[in-house]
Structure 1
Amino acid sequence: MSQDVFKRAAFPALIMLALAGCSLAPKYERPAAPVPGQYPDQAAVKNSGPGSAQAVAPNAGYSSDLGWSEFFRDPQLKALIGLSLANNRDMRIAVQRVQEARAQFGIVESDRLPTLGIGGNAQVTHNPENLRMNGADSVTRYYQAGVGMTAFELDFFGRVKNLSEAAYQQYLATAQATRTVHINLVAQVAEAYFRLRTAQQLDTLMQKTLESRQNTYALVKARYDAGVASALDLSQAKTQLDTVRADRAGIKRSQAQALNALQLLLGVEIPAGLPPAAVFGRDQVLAAIPVGLPSDLLERRPDIMGAENALLAANANIGAARAAFFPNISITGLLGFASPQLGGLFGSGQHYWQFAPQLQMPIFSGGVSGNLDLAEARNHIAVAQYEKTIQTAFREVADALAGEATYDSQLEALRALEASASETLKLATLRYETGIDSFLQVQNAEVDLYTTQQTFFQIGMESLMNRVELYKALGGGWLEASAAAPLAQAGSEAGTAADTGTRAR
């Protein structure tokens, strides 16, 4: 076999050997979840009944299998969420972040393949007479053309491969961050909507209360004019009336601010012609949500998956830093034609090749050791961040479960309290009109009823938001429907890849 044939056969073999280089990255083992194996008060969440998640999506074992259009039941809210996902600027930025990370991964990945190019050059030199060889012309010409490869690193120790793996995991982490933005946006729109609807209900309550207080004030004023009621009674009635007026001005402000917050989340002006809103109450969302175990969060919550992707990237960077202690071998080559005359450049006898390997071995370099220390420190940070993300997720679910276990009983108690306060007001008013008690008893009864009604609406809103928080904490809110694909195509692609762990090494 001739040398040319041997070299042509050996060159692809060297390329394949470089691409299949070993990896010096530590063997990855997922850190143990630093949380208990069960949620507290998990038994308080009931997963059965006509309004439960099991009834709506009987095959859904986890909250993330429920689409947000199934979880939220108000047609107007669903329309608003759809508008926000299409127009919210934070969502657009998050999707473009994925594209940016994808491009960065592509740049790093390209270093694993040789860079080939076609080119040519010419060199024309005029030599003085004392530098010319015997019989040589005063002007020499040299022409060259061919296919060249520039400084391709033979990745025997996996440096480039690990850098590519790190960029890939960062890309996946960015995609998971986009899913987190998506989930948070759905929850934020729902919460802003619930605040707006609650403010509207409180405004209606205050309007009715204002009318009642005006009637009471008119009654006391008539009794005062007749000499039956005291000036103190009249002053107390006026105080009650002015209190509701002030409260209503405040709730008008809250209503406007809630509307502004909702519009910011939508990214566009709230359009006319939205579907009619459902009756506001607990039926706005599903009555119960499948919970699962804490370990399920590792595979369901995008922030945890993203933190693990960042940990895998840090692990790969250790491999790249270790590889820097070993020789770096790179090749520059050219295969083409060379000739002293341009016209004969591509002649049959003008074949030209150049093979220039280069080896570099660090002997004394503090930066190499420092880069390894840096990579290991960042890996320890990534482990701690991953564990903290799991702990935070566990706490969010546990807090929401505690709310699920107590809000129903609190609302039931407030309903009973409202009925008692209403009856007390009736009796106090009757006793005042018959002259048995002073107006102070009526005033106290009115304050108690008014406060109880306000508290009921406030706790009702909090109970709705708590259920949304539970849904979000369990990793829900990503799919529009349980059988649908994620809305952001980049996040979907990366999310699928992240579920399977790292790429094949």
Structure 2
Amino acid sequence: MKRRAALLALLALSACNLEPHLDRPQPLVPPSWPAGDAYLRQNEASLPSVSYRDIFKDPNLQAIIDQALANNQDLREALANVAAARATYRVQRADLFPQVNGTAGATDRHTPQSGDTLSGAGSGTGSTGTGSTGTGTTGTGSTGTGTSVSSSGSRTYTTYQLQAGATSWELDLFGRVRSLTRSALDLYLSQEATARGARLTLVAEIANAYLQLASDRSLLAIALDTQKSALDSVRLTQARLDGGVAPRTDLRQAQTVLATAQADTANVTTLVAQDRNALELLVGARVADALLPPSIEAVDGMLGELPAGLDSTILLRRPDVVQTEYELRAANARIGAARAAFLPRISLTGLAGLSSTALSSLFTGGAFTWTVAPSATLPIFDGGVNSGNLAYAKAQRDLYLATYQKAIQTAFREVADALARRGTIDAQIQADQLNLTAAQDTYTLDTARYRNGIDPYLNALVAQRTLYDARRTLASARLTRAQNLVALYQTLGGDALLADLPDTPGARRDLEAGGQRLTDPAR
């Protein structure tokens, strides 16, 4: 009964937890987004999870993203870090359980025969192995171990053993090992959030590279079209000059437009090639020509809007915010381990097995042996090591708390900036479209008046340059609108299709446990 009571007392002590209580810190940001002329009006509601397929509806872009998720080396590096963090957690978690080892062996011990030993006086040997003072040469009375005697009178003792036991297993009465295990789990989960952030960033970078390539292809088409138009103007002006109708200044002015278009064509051709190289670097493989976008106009209408209803608390699911929260929880758990270092550390060594002088009797009831050896260590003087470790753990907790709040504030600013751009870009594109229509009409009229000899070439030249700039400006505005949707998708985070780790049951159980702890107010 006393042993049972002592065991129950140890189990009760093992429930101790010296970690300070930690609730999820209140985000130091407004509960809603800024309001004003630059922002879209939206009601306050939780934003449902979206996937990149909901935003990037272009099947070619989806195929490129899928290819990148399989081949990108940065993503593989991030997943390798997740696997390493999970392995580290498993190593730390193993300290919660005793490590049981089994041993088997046989021992031969040879001793010379002395005169006193032959007489058996006080030596503990006997002829039958049953007495402590008996005489004889075939056994030991104290252990019953069999012997053999050589012709010279020396003895050989043989013992067979089969044992299993745990050595120096810490009972963790004050939660030191459990705190370290929780810290390792939180670090593992923070690394998984980092990997999700890497995947989210990769998808956004691929979408932006795809859109940039589409925009540059549009600019290349505009430059080639302008080059062709300018070449026609040069030929017309040259003919008028040869006929004595136009001055040489008209020809030179037409040639400036042609030269500008030719220079832009060469430059944008380089940009298109570089855009493709950047896209293929992100993908980690060659991208088929059929998957490349023809122009920004072709993909501008294939981007979806995020669901209406944005609440600033949605930032708590961003991978970088989740990462810093788990790092904060890991630092808080290490405070519990640092506190437990001031208290006694109790270890237990236990062995149980079989021991016999003959293999035939090794598995009999009388061969069973066991040993239990508890030990306790109490720090008396450590020169301030434990106090320093505790102060360091608390400072780390404060550091990660500040990092967590800063991550939320940065996320709030990024989303607010993206919303500000989203609230005005449509009006800008509408104005640019009106400008392009007017510039196109002006160029048509001025060119006709020049061909009919009504106006000088200068009017047609200005109209042509204005049309060229208007087309480029509208293409740039379309790119800005498309990239703004990508920015909103990335800054809000939470892509449902990017949340999975490599499919391992153990990893999934750890993540589910971590997710419960993340949302549990008691944690």
Gaps of 5+ in 1: 49-60
Alignment of 1:81-120 (within 5 A): 81-120=65-104
1:328/1:494 CA distance change after superposition, 3 Å: closer
Q: Does the 8 Å CA contact 2:159/2:357 hold for their aligned counterparts?
A: yes
Name the aligned partner's letter for residue 304 of structure 2.
L
Aligned twin of 1:409: 427
Q: 1:302-313 maps to which residues of 2 (within 5 A)?
A: 302-313=319-330
Which deviates the most, 34-43 or 402-411?
34-43
Percent identity between the aligned chains?
Answer: 37
The answer for the alignment partner of 1:58 in structure 2 is none
- Residue 267 of structure 2 corresponds to residue 283 of structure 1: no
**1: CA distance, partners of 2:331 / 2:263:** 57
Aligned to 2:145: none
Contact 1:63 1:475 survives alignment (8 Å): no
Paired with 1:10 and 1:339, the residues of 2 have a C-alpha distance of 34
**Residues 19-168 of structure 1 mapped to structure 2, 5 A cutoff:** 20-41=14-35, 44-45=39-40, 63=47, 65-127=49-111, 134=123, 138-168=155-185
Q: Secondary structure at the match of 1:364?
A: coil
Report deviation, 1:467. Answer: 0.8
Q: How far off is 1:47 after superposition? A: 7.0
CA distance in 2, matches of 1:313, 1:220: 76
CA contact (8 A) 1:401 1:470 kept: yes
Give the match's secondary structure for 2:365. coil
Residue 421 of structure 1 and its aligned partner are, at CA, apart by 1.9
Q: Distance in 2 between matches of 1:315 and 1:270?
A: 46
> Which whole-Å CA distance do the structure 1 matches of 2:291 and 2:329 have between them?
45
Residues 64/496 of structure 1: CA separation in 2 closer, same or farther (3 Å cut)? farther
Contact preservation (8 Å) 1:207, 1:248:
yes
**Per-residue deviation, 1:313:** 0.6
Partner of 1:178: 195
Relative to structure 1, the CA distance from residue 63 to residue 179 in structure 2 (aligned partners, 3 Å threshold; closer, same or farther) is: farther
Q: Cα distance, 1:269 vs. partner?
A: 2.0
Q: 1:328 aligns with which of 345, 349, 363?
A: 345
Using a 3 Å threshold, how does the CA distance of structure 1 residues 77 and 175 change in structure 2: closer, same or farther?
same
Cα gap change, 1:119 to 1:354, in 2 (>3 Å): same
SS in 2 for 1:284: coil
Letter in 2 for 1:150: T
Aligned-pair CA distance for 1:100: 2.2
Distance change (3 Å), C-alpha of 1:200 and 1:488? farther
Match of 1:209 in 2: 226
**Alignment CA distance shift 1:183-1:498 (3 Å):** farther
Question: How many pairs were matched up?
Answer: 483
Decide which moves more: 71-80 or 281-290: 281-290
1:458 is aligned to 476
Q: Which residue of 1 aligns with 2:397?
A: 379
- Please give the alpha-carbon distance, in whole angstroms, between the structure 1 residues aligned to 2:75 and 2:249: 59
Q: Please report how far the alpha carbon of residue 350 of structure 1 lies from its aligned counterpart in structure 2 after TM superposition.
A: 2.7
Q: CA deviation at 1:412?
A: 0.8
* Deviation per residue, 1:314-372 (Å, 9 max, x gap): 10011011111111110111011234555544443232211111111111213222221
Indicate conservation of the 8 Å contact 1:422/1:449, yes or no.
yes
Aligned in 2, Cα 1:213/1:102: closer, same or farther, shift over 3 Å? same
Note if 1:364 corresponds to 2:385. no
Q: Distance in 2 between the 1:487 and 1:102 partners?
A: 11
Structure 2 unaligned blocks of 5 or more: 126-139, 141-153
Is the 1:151–1:330 contact (alpha carbons within 8 Å) kept by the matching residues of 2? Answer: yes
Amino acid at match of 1:28: L
- TM-score, normalised relative to structure 1: 0.86
Judged with a 3 Å threshold, the aligned counterparts in structure 2 of structure 1 residues 326 and 291 are, in CA distance, closer, same or farther, namely same
Hey, what does 1:51 align to over in structure 2?
A: none
Question: In 1, Cα distance between the equivalents of 2:303 and 2:279?
Answer: 18
Matched to 2:97, the amino acid is L
Further displaced range: 143-152 or 346-355? 346-355
**Matching residue's letter, 1:240:** V
CA distance in 2, matches of 1:430, 1:478: 57
Deviation (angstroms), 1:126: 4.0
Quote how far apart the aligned CAs of 1:156 are.
0.7
Structure 2 CA distance for partners of 1:306 and 1:23, relative to 1, 3 Å: same
Question: How far is 1:146 from its partner?
Answer: 1.5
Q: Equivalents in 2 of 1:495, 1:215: separation in Å? A: 66
Secondary structure class of the residue paired with 1:93: helix
Give the superposed CA RMSD. Answer: 3.1
Amino acid at match of 2:40: V
Q: Which amino acid aligns with 1:251?
A: V
2:226 aligned partner, one-letter code: T
Q: Distance in 2 between matches of 1:276 and 1:36?
A: 40
Larger radius of gyration: 2
Q: How much does 1:167 deviate? A: 0.8
Partner SS, residue 18 of structure 2: coil
**Secondary structure of residue in 2 paired with 1:479:** helix
Residue pairs, 1:411-490, within 5 angstroms? 411-435=429-453, 437-479=455-497, 486=500, 488-489=502-503
Native 8 Å contact 1:173 1:306 kept in 2: yes
Q: Find the counterpart in structure 1 of residue 144 from structure 2.
A: none
SS of 1:111's partner is: helix
Q: What is the CA distance between 1:12 and its match in structure 2? A: 7.0
Whether the aligned pair in 2 keeps the contact of 1:332 and 1:355 (CA below 8 Å) is: yes
Residue 245 (str. 1) matches residue 240 (str. 2): no
Whole-Å separation in 1 of the counterparts to 2:6 and 2:282 = 57
Do 1:431 and 1:437's aligned partners in 2 also have CA atoms closer than 8 Å?
A: yes
What's 1:53 paired with?
Answer: none
Q: Is the 8 A contact 1:151 1:331 kept in 2?
A: yes
Deviations 1:384-441 (A, max 9, x none): 1111110111011101100111111111111111122223323433444455544333
- Measured against aligned partners, the alpha-carbon deviations of 1:167-194 in whole angstroms (never above 9, x if no partner) come to 1111111121222122222212211111
Q: Which residue of 2 aligns with 1:500?
A: 516
Inter-CA distance 276–445: structure 2 relative to 1 (3 Å threshold) = closer
CA 1:64–1:488: 2 relative to 1, 3 Å = farther
